Structure 1
Amino acid sequence: LCVLLGFTGALIVVAGDQGLESINLHGLLILLAALSWSLYFALQKRHSGRYDSLTMVCYTIWSGTLLLLVYLPGLWTRVHAASAQVNIALLLLGIFPSALAYLAWAYVLAHSNVSRASMALYLVPPTAMLMASVLLAELPSPWVVVGAGIVLSSVLALGLQPSRRARASSKA
């Protein structure tokens, strides 16, 4: 029921105030990204006992870099054409929000249950919406706020359910 409620909230967020006909290829790419993330979490948790956090992050970052090599032709000329400020910003974005976030996530996954740990990721969209509202004066539509509230409520309800291990120990 919680998962169904979460999907309903996500559908409301995606549709926003423009209706369901506004869902296009970009919306499907977001769903593909969510599926990819779930596969990544499962694989990372499976291998976290064999590899330490730093090794997992290195595999993740270098695999992503390898996939981005399709953009290699012409990269050098674009780097030279960009200002130093832009190049420094890109370097910092690659180090701090990417590499350090992956390292922190790998550490959390190695020391906790993947389903419980991944619930914290649901805080990213509301935080981004809040930051956009405060820093950019962008206000989300009422439907987006309602959908986000439904998603967060479903995650909270799912998080409040006792784990299988806790239910099994209480029965014993």
Structure 2
Amino acid sequence: MTTTPKALPDAPASARHDWRAPAAACTTVILWASAFVSIRSAGEAYSPGALALGRLLAGSLTLGVILLVRREGLPARAAWPGIVTSGVLWFGLYMVALNWGEQQVDAGTAAMVVNIGPILIALLSAGLLGEGLPRRLLVGMAVSFGGAAVVGLSMSGHGSSSVLGVVLCVVAAVAYAGGVVSQKPALRHGSALQITTFGCLIGTVACLPFTGVLVSEAADAPVSATLNMVYLGVFPTALAFTTWAYALARTTAGRMGATTYAVPALVVLMSWLLLDEVPALLTVAGGLLCLAGVAVSRGRARAARTPVSASSPQSGGPES
């Protein structure tokens, strides 16, 4: 009778005191936010497919070298369905669709549409992974999405939108959600580095039809655009996707998806500091709402899920 109560707090206590997963999530969010600044430069010289392929090539090369140095080898066979699915959807389709969509719509519209991704992640992970939908997660995501919508509305006067662009952004959001949910089970059978490396390789293979375009555009592209493309591959892809996978293996897909709502707020701040783009008060307010929603969604989730994860490993997953 005494062994069961004693076993309950052990795993959650160790998870609560592990600073590495939150640090990994923060690293991912910061680097993904920085990607928006680099995409502006690279996207002026490279078409959507070529930019995606160049970014993935740089990421695959970086990850491959690290994997060889660490001698991690191949992940278990059970991880490959999730690796292939996330590689095609997230590393391949998502990047091409997002690059293309952002050329068809203004930044505000793209921000609003793509930010349905975390909502889809929560719904899919609840239905397919049995993670559930805690009230604080739903409330936090609603607040954050409202903030993303405010940021988008405050930026929507600086460009034009098309039906094709909106559809492409929706495709990007769906591919993002599907990639995250398929990656989560794979992380039970391989390390974050393995899952990210081979997912990136799968995405690279999927984008190989753009090889000719990449070669021709690279010959005429300015050095700054090419360097930004390489930066996108090394940091927001190789490093940030690995830290994402590390954190995802230690929490739920829904909570990780909600964390990415901090990205719009950081993009506003980085644009202000690096590009001298002074944000409007409405944009700042939207960014603060995004951050508030993230805080709400992550606030009490661990305590609420402790009894469930102890009695049902399937629902708690690696978070416990």
TM-score grouping bracket, smaller chain normalisation: 0.7 to 0.9
CA contact (8 A) 2:181 2:253 kept: yes
Q: Output the CA distance in 2 between the equivalents of 1:85 and 1:35.
A: 31
- Residue 81 of structure 1 corresponds to which residue in structure 2? 220
CA contact (8 A) 2:268 2:283 kept: no
- Residue 166 of structure 1 corresponds to which residue in structure 2? 306
CA contact (8 A) 1:17 1:142 kept: no
Q: CA deviation at 1:28?
A: 5.1
- Residue 239 of structure 2 corresponds to which residue in structure 1? 100
1:91–1:157 Cα change, 3 Å:
closer
Deviation digits for residues 95-135 of structure 1 (CA, Å, limit 9, x no counterpart): 22211111111122223333333443232222221111012
CA contact (8 A) 1:9 1:148 kept: yes
Structure 1 stretch displaced more, 104-113 or 85-94: 85-94
1:42–1:165 Cα change, 3 Å:
same
Q: Output the CA distance in 2 between the equivalents of 1:86 and 1:4.
A: 36
Q: 1:151 aligns with which of 280, 283, 290?
A: 290
CA contact (8 A) 2:148 2:261 kept: no
- Residue 151 of structure 2 corresponds to which residue in structure 1? 13
Q: CA deviation at 1:67?
A: 3.4
CA contact (8 A) 2:264 2:290 kept: no
CA contact (8 A) 2:151 2:264 kept: no
Q: CA deviation at 1:80?
A: 3.1
Q: Which amino acid aligns with 1:135?
A: L
1:72–1:153 Cα change, 3 Å:
same
Q: CA deviation at 1:61?
A: 1.1
- Residue 48 of structure 1 corresponds to which residue in structure 2? 187
Q: CA deviation at 1:89?
A: 4.4
How high is the TM-score relative to the length of structure 1? 0.76
Q: CA deviation at 1:162?
A: 3.4
Q: Which amino acid aligns with 2:212?
A: P
Q: Output the CA distance in 2 between the equivalents of 1:28 and 1:146.
A: 27
1:11–1:52 Cα change, 3 Å:
same
1:56–1:161 Cα change, 3 Å:
same
CA contact (8 A) 1:14 1:23 kept: no
Q: CA deviation at 1:42?
A: 1.2
Q: Output the CA distance in 1 between the equivalents of 2:199 and 2:154.
A: 33
Structure 2, unpaired ranges of 5+: 1-137, 310-320
Q: Output the CA distance in 2 between the equivalents of 1:154 and 1:46.
A: 26
Structure 1, unpaired ranges of 5+: none
CA contact (8 A) 1:6 1:155 kept: yes
Q: Output the CA distance in 1 between the equivalents of 2:188 and 2:170.
A: 29
Higher relative contact order (CA 8 A, sep 6+): 1
1:47–1:76 Cα change, 3 Å:
same
- Residue 35 of structure 1 corresponds to which residue in structure 2? 174
Q: 1:60 aligns with which of 178, 191, 199?
A: 199
Structure 1 stretch displaced more, 51-60 or 65-74: 65-74
Deviation digits for residues 40-59 of structure 1 (CA, Å, limit 9, x no counterpart): 22111111102222221123
- Residue 116 of structure 1 corresponds to which residue in structure 2? 255
Q: Which amino acid aligns with 1:7?
A: F
Q: 1:138 aligns with which of 254, 277, 285?
A: 277
Number of residue pairs matched?
A: 167
CA RMSD across the alignment: 2.9
Q: CA deviation at 1:167?
A: 5.9
